[in-house]
Amino acid sequence: MSIASNRSDSVAVVGVGTTDFGRLPDHDKTSLGIWALREAAADAGISLKDIDGLIVQRITDYQKFVQITNMSPHLLNCTPGAGRITGGTIALGVQAILSGLVNTVAVVYGNDGRTAGAKYGGKDDSYGTGADQFWSPYGMTSPGAVHAMLYQRHAKLYGTKPEQLGAVSVAFRKHALHNSKAVMQKPITMEDYIAAKFIAEPLRLLDYCLINDGGVAMILTRGDRAKDFPKPPVYVRGIAQTSRLAQGELPDDFGFAAMQSVAKRVFPMAGVTREDVKSLMIYDNFTPIVLFCLEGFGYCPVGEGGRFVEGGRLELGGQYPTNTSGGHLSESYMQGWALNVEAVRQVRGELGSRQVPGADVVQYLQGGPICTSIIYGRDVT
Amino acid sequence: MSEYRKPLPPINHLSRPFWEATKQGRLILPRCNHCGTFHTYFEPWCSTCGEEGVHFEELSGRGKIWTNCRFHRSYFSGMEESLPYNVAMVELDEGPRLMTNIVGLEHGTLDEMPIGMEVEAVFESVTDEVTLVKFRPVRK
Ligand SMILES: [Zn+2]
């Protein structure tokens, strides 16, 4: 049996929880994770004692976490606070249930990056080979600059334009206005986008995600038990991953091969095609990766990402409403976690003015460097 | 000369030949003894063929700009005085790609250093220990 599938005995999400997002100086990542977990348990109608697996991400003091929550899980793990790891953390929870190791897993994320002054870039934030020798002496650093350089290649090869990145930024901001928890509540226009100051030129401030404090939790359980919970079950119908870390930070193909490898597994596993997907949640740490994901997962041809996002295609009412919460650009940078919760809530149909009608299949896309996709669905056969 | 405050590479036994060569105005890189791939990291293992063992080889120092960006925010102490500054990835004629800065431009803006522009290495001594490899446009 594959790790997830379109079957009634696959894994379901039965509880989700999110904290407020923003500047929350009275909290740390442990307390934010606990806040989110308590919300998720209440949503699932269970007590923390009913949870027999616990995987926390970015919450380095897992000991304090389990002491305060008084849990005695049969599986306990802690993964690092990198968004590229998020899909793998969720996959571990899914696998633990499918293997029979545990019945119910909480996957919990806490991030106090805004209050703690988390930095992406600089001497304490380098990855992989050679950054200290070949990057830092020239002032090269930060995921934002990497995306700026990838975008420059894409623009040179395919004619992609800043206004196409702006279309992504404006669309997600529109969505945030339907989400009272989103950090950004002020509408923006294309003129505002173009007028925003450069950070790593050609990327502007409005191409960048928002570092904030917050927590997110999901409770997963065996699919055959899922109907006993108060909320409609949302099944993890497909989950797949391929690392492109070995290609370095600036792959020639924008991650296309790795994303294709994921797509070839995740759609058959879920028993759906792109035409069945009603809404997308795309890991938007920077706007260019949204275009690369749409190409890599086959939503548009290679090189067409910029043209694809024009005309409101990613907006509510468009062909593929994307990041309906506002995403990392306008809700909060929760490293993929809040996007997964948004996917679950879309499938449940509980999102009010930002609900996508008939959203029975929603796909999460993470473009890299550990490319991941998760397909959530309402029904199983 | 005032103290150099920008980031400096940590020189160790694996990278020392590279930084000794730049002081002499030469660009060398590790090359796999088995498959011939040039490396832009200083480890003895080859990420292309998986074998162990490298030697250093000199390169022409000629190449083309592969991609570029321009920093308007400083992430390192010492860099703020240079804002905005450019960074380019140069693809050398021999294949490997290096991060660098493009010098010898009138204003240093991105339109002066487009992708595909031919460039050549220049060696900029910044401390007694470190000479950085930067690139300038090839004058035709
Ligand atoms: Zn080799």
Q: What is the ipTM of this complex?
A: 0.97
Burial of A238 (0-12, 13-18, 19+ CB in 10 A): buried
Q: Are B121 and B54 found together in one domain? A: no
Q: Please indicate whether, in this complex, the C-beta atoms of B42 and A133 are within 8 angstroms of each other.
A: yes
Q: Are B77 and B126 found together in one domain? A: yes
Distance from CA of B41 to the nearest CA of A (A): 5
List pLDDT tens digits, range A198-234: 999 999 999 999 999 999 999 999 998 999 999 999 9
Q: Are B108 and B123 found together in one domain? A: yes
Q: Please indicate whether, in this complex, the C-beta atoms of A135 and B134 are within 8 angstroms of each other.
A: no
Q: Are B133 and B74 found together in one domain? A: yes
Q: Are B81 and B46 found together in one domain? A: no
Is the predicted pLDDT of residue A326 greater than 60, yes or no?
yes
- Give the pLDDT mean for A34-57: 98
- Give the pLDDT mean for A352-366: 98
Q: Are B15 and B71 found together in one domain? A: no
Whole-angstrom distance, CA of residue A322 vs CA of residue A64: 36
List the domain range (segments joined by +) for residue B30: 11-58
Among A129, A138, A244, which would you mutate to test the B interface (most chain B Cβ atoms within 10 Å of its Cβ)?
Answer: A138
Q: Are B18 and B74 found together in one domain? A: no
B137 in a structural domain: yes
Helix axes A143-158, A287-296, angle to 10 degrees: 60
Q: Are B131 and B64 found together in one domain? A: yes
List pLDDT tens digits, range A290-324: 999 999 999 999 999 999 999 999 999 999 999 99
Is the predicted pLDDT of residue A9 greater than 80, yes or no?
no
Is the predicted pLDDT of residue A54 greater than 50, yes or no?
yes
Nearest CA in chain B to A201: B70
The structural domain count of chain B equals 2
Ramachandran category for residue B85: left, alpha or beta (phi over 0 → left; psi -120 to 50 → alpha): beta
Q: Please indicate whether, in this complex, the C-beta atoms of B87 and A140 are within 8 angstroms of each other.
A: yes
Q: Are B94 and B47 found together in one domain? A: no
Mean pLDDT of chain B: 96
Q: Are B109 and B120 found together in one domain? A: yes
Q: What percent of chain A has pLDDT over 90?
A: 89
Q: Model confidence at B1, in pLDDT bands (50, 70, 90)?
A: low
Q: Model confidence at A1, in pLDDT bands (50, 70, 90)?
A: very low
Structural domains in chain A, CATH included, are 11-117+210-377 (3.40.47.10)
- CATH code: domain of residue B106: 2.40.50
Q: Are B64 and B53 found together in one domain? A: no
**Beta-strand (E) ranges in A39-123?**
53-57, 75-79, 104-112
